[in-house]
Amino acid sequence: MMNWWKKADKIIILACVFLLLAGANALFSFRDLPRLVPMTQSVNQLPYQQGYPEEGAYPGALLPLMVSGKTVYAKNDIQHYEFDMSDPIAPWELVLPKIYYGLNSRNLLSVMGADIVPDDTLSKVLITDEVRDRCTDLGFSNDLFRYSCAANDIPEEYGNYFHYYYFYSVNSDPMHIYYGCSDPKQLTPAGDEDLVAIWQKKTNGFGEDLYLFSRDFYDREVQK
Amino acid sequence: MNLTSLLNEIVSQVGAPAFVRQALTILLLSVYGYVLLSLLCPSFTFRRRMLFAYPAGLSMFTLTSFLPVVLSIPYGTATAVIAALLALAVILGALFVRKYHKDPRCFSVLYDCSIKEAVMAIVLLDLAILLSCSGVLHIALSNDSIFNYSFYPRLIVHFGGLRPNFNTFLTDVGPGAAMVGTLPYLFGFQETFGLQHMLNLVFLAIFGVAVYEKCTVSGKKSRLLFAFSAVVLLLSSTPYLLLSKWILSNDYFAVFMFLCAYLADFGTDESRSPETREDTLWLLYILLAMLSLLRIEGGVYVILFVLCVSVRKIGAKSLAFGMLLPALVLQSLYAFRIFCTMHFIAPYRFLTEGKVLLMLAAMAATLLYLLLIRGRYCLKLQDHFGVLIMAGLFVLNLLLFVKDRAGYLENMRAFLENILRSGGWGIFPLTVALLFLISLGKRFRFGYWDLMAFGYFLYALAVSFMREGGLQAGPGDSGNRVLMQALPLLLFAGIIHVLQRFGERREAQE
C-alpha cells in the first residue's frame, strides 16, 4: 500500500479528491442557492425581471425604455419652498407632497430620457378606480422614488435615500406604477406618441401611484 | 393590454441590439486591453496577453473615465472614448521614446503569434462573449444592484458627471464600480450582466492557469486535470456562485483582488526572467489602481495589499510609486471632488471627511515607510514582516473589541452565524479547513497566500466593524459579502498547501 502511494501520481489522486469535494459543494449549492437569493436568467437583456420576486422586480427599470425620447405631459403643481437649513426640522419638511411626488418624479422621468412638459390642465386630474382597473400594474416602486432625490435640482440636497426611506418605505404603502395604452408599441422605444404622466394620492393608504398613459388612451379614458 | 405583450414588444425592439452592443463593447474592451498589454508587457506570451486582455481593458477604461468625472470634465461617450485612446497614445509615445531606439521590434509583438493560436483565441473569446451576453447564465438582483450600480451610473451619464444631489451615492458606492456601470448608457445597452459574466469566465481561466503554474510536479495531463478540478471546486462552491452572480461590486473586487495577488506573486518570483517580472508588475499597477476604486473602502485595502507584497523581494519604488501612489492620487482626487468642491448633507454615509483623512494619512505614512524605512532600518523585524502584519491586524481587532465589546461580540456572532449557517457559505469553510488539515506537516509554512487570505479576513472584520450597524446575519449583508470577497484567496492558499504537502514544488521566495 505504501509503495503504491509512493509511486502513485498524487496529483491525479488530489484532483479526484477535489472533484469529490466539488460534488459535495454542488449538492449544497443546488439546495441552498434558490432560498438564499432569487436568481433568474436575463435572456431579455433587461434589468427588469417579470415575476421577480412576486409583482415584478424593480419596475422602474422599465421606465427608461417606455419614456425615453418621448414628450411626456405632467402636472404643473410644483411649489417652491425656501427652507432655513440651520433649522434641524427643515429636512423633514420634505414630506410636503408637492416636492416628493412632483419634483422627484418629474426629474426622475427626465433623467430617464423623457422631455417633460408641465401642463396646467393635468394638475387637477383625478384617476378613478375604474380607470385604474383598466390599466396594467407594473409593480410597486417605492425604492425608485426613494432614490429619485438624486435627480433633483434642490440646492444642497438635504435628504438622502435613507431619509427618504422612512417616507417611501416605512411610512408609505406600496406605490405602484400603472400604465394604459391602446397599443403596447406606444410605450416602447419605437413608439413616438406623446405620453401623459399623473401622480395620484392613493385612495386607501399613504403614498402616491404613478400612472403613465399614451395620449390617446388618456384622452379617451381619463379626460372624457 | 397585459404586461407580457408590452415586454415582448420591448424585447423584440431592444433585445437583439442590446445583445450586439454589449457583446461588441466587451470585444472592444478586450482588443483595447490586448493592444495595451502588447505595448506595456511585450515579454508576455500571446496566451497571457489574451488571458488578461479583458481585465486590463476594463481597468484602463475605468481609470481613464474616472479622471474626467473627478476633474469635472463633461462626461459622455465621446469623453470616455477619447480618454481611453489618449491614455493608449501616451503609453505608445512613452514606449516609442524609451524603447524604439533600443529595440525597434518591440512593437511587432502585437501580432506575435501563430495563425492557429490566433484563430483559437478569437474563437474562444467570441464564445465567451456570446455566453456572457446570452442571458443564459443566472443573475441575482437586489436593491443595491438596481440603484447603486445601474440608476446611479445612469445619473452620471445623464448629468455628465457628479453632483451634490447624488448624496450618499458619492460616499457609499465605489467610483470604479459606478464607472463600469456607465458602460450600458454610453454604448446603448441596458445592463452590465454580460460584463460581469465575462469577467468571471476570464477569472476562472486565470485561476486555472495559476493552479497549473503552481503544480510543478507530474506530467502536463496530470497538471491540467488538477487545475481543472480546482476550477470546478471553486465553481461549485455556494459563496462563489452567490458572489459571481449577484450584480454588485463584490464580485469585481474579489476577482481583481485575486488577480492582483497572483500578479504580485508572479511578478516577484525570482525564477522568472527580469523582463517578465517587470512587465507583470506594470499590469499589476493598472489592476491595483482599478481595485482601489471598486469599493469605497478600496484605498484602505491597497495599504494592506502593498504591505503584504512588501514581504517579497521587490524594490521599494515599485511598491511606493507603482502600487501605492496611484491609489493615493486617485483617492485624493475623489475625496477633494466630493468633500471640497461639493457641499451635501447626508444623515448617514459610509465615507466621511474624518475617515477619508485617516485613510489618506495611512496611505501617506505607508508611502514614507516604504521609501525611508523598508530595507534600511529594523531589518531583523522586517524579516518577519508577515508576522508583524498579522499581529498588527489582530491588535487592531483587539482595540476595536476593547472600544466596543458588545458590538464586536455581536459582529463575531453574526460572522459565525453567516459562516456556519445562514450567510451563503455552504460547506466551503469545511472544504478549505479540510485542505489545510490534510496539508499539516513538517513542510507547512504560513506563506504569502496565507498572508493575503487571512490578512484580508482580519482586515474585513475590522472594516465591517467601522460601518454603522456592524455585521448582520444573512447573505445580503454587505459585511458578509465583503468577507466572501476573500474566497478565491482562501481556496488558492489551501491548494498551495496541498501541493506543498503532497508534491515537490518550485517555491517563490516567501
ipTM of the complex: 0.89
Instruction: Note whether A47 contacts B426, CB cutoff 8 Å.
Output: no
Candidates A7, A29, A220: best to mutate against B (most CBs of B within 10 A) is A29
**H-type helices in B295-345, by residue range?**
298-309, 316-317, 325-335
Among residues B223, B438, B431, the alpha carbon closest in space to that of A20 is found at B431
Q: Are A11 and B503 in contact (CB under 8 A)?
A: yes
User: What is the count of residue pairs from A and B with beta carbons less than 8 Å apart?
Assistant: 234
pLDDT over 80 at A100, yes or no: no
Q: Is A96 on the interface with B (CB under 8 A)?
A: no
Q: Are B261 and A56 in contact (CB under 8 A)?
A: no
A66 to chain B, closest Cα gap in Å: 8
| pLDDT, average across residues A13-35 | 93
**Residue A161's pLDDT band (cuts 50, 70, 90):** low
Q: Are A170 and A101 in contact (CB under 8 A)?
A: no
pLDDT over 80 at A163, yes or no: no
Candidates B12, B21, B238, B491: best to mutate against A (most CBs of A within 10 A) is B238
Nearest to B222 among A12, A33, A156 (CB): A12
| Torsion sign (Cα): B404, B406, B409, B413 | negative
Q: What burial class does residue A202 get, using C-beta atoms within 10 Å of its C-beta: 0-12 exposed, 13-18 middle, 19+ buried?
A: middle
Percent of chain A with pLDDT over 70: 73
Neighboring chain B residues of A162 at a CB cutoff of 8 Å? 168, 346-348
Amino acid B150: pLDDT: 94
Amino acid B475: pLDDT: 83
Instruction: Note whether B13 contacts A28, CB cutoff 8 Å.
Output: no
Residue A57 phi/psi, 5° resolution? -90, 135
pLDDT over 70 at A137, yes or no: yes
Nearest to B155 among A29, A111, A156 (CB): A111
Neighboring chain B residues of A22 at a CB cutoff of 8 Å? 229, 232-233, 235-236
Residue type, A159: G
Amino acid B92: pLDDT: 87
**Residue A1's pLDDT band (cuts 50, 70, 90):** low
Distance of CA B302 to the CA centre of its chain: 11
Candidates B151, B237, B467, B491: best to mutate against A (most CBs of A within 10 A) is B151
Average confidence (pLDDT) per 10 residues, chain B, 510 residues: 81 92 97 94 93 98 97 97 95 78 60 84 96 94 90 95 88 96 96 97 98 87 94 97 95 98 97 94 98 96 97 95 98 96 76 93 96 87 89 93 89 87 90 94 88 94 75 83 94 95 54
Amino acid B508: pLDDT: 42
Nearest to A25 among B9, B168, B431 (CB): B431
DSSP β-ladder status, A40-41 and A71-75 = unpaired
Amino acid A46: pLDDT: 85
CA dist list (Å): A47 to A40, A65, B27, B346, B471: 11, 11, 21, 28, 29
Amino acid B506: pLDDT: 42
Q: Is B138 on the interface with A (CB under 8 A)?
A: yes
Q: Is B423 helix (H, G, I), strand (E, B) or coil?
A: coil
Amino acid A5: pLDDT: 59
Q: Are B190 and A46 in contact (CB under 8 A)?
A: yes
Q: Is A116 on the interface with B (CB under 8 A)?
A: no
**Residue A164's pLDDT band (cuts 50, 70, 90):** low
Candidates B8, B143, B146: best to mutate against A (most CBs of A within 10 A) is B146
Instruction: Note whether A25 contacts B167, CB cutoff 8 Å.
Output: no
Amino acid A49: pLDDT: 73
B446 to chain A, closest Cα gap in Å: 21
User: How many alpha carbons lie under 13 Å from residue B112 in its C-beta half-sphere?
Assistant: 20
**Residue A53's pLDDT band (cuts 50, 70, 90):** very low
In angstroms, rounded to a whole number, what is the distance separating the alpha carbons of residues B161 and B181?
13
Q: Is A8 on the interface with B (CB under 8 A)?
A: no
pLDDT over 50 at A128, yes or no: yes
Nearest to B13 among A11, A163, A189 (CB): A189
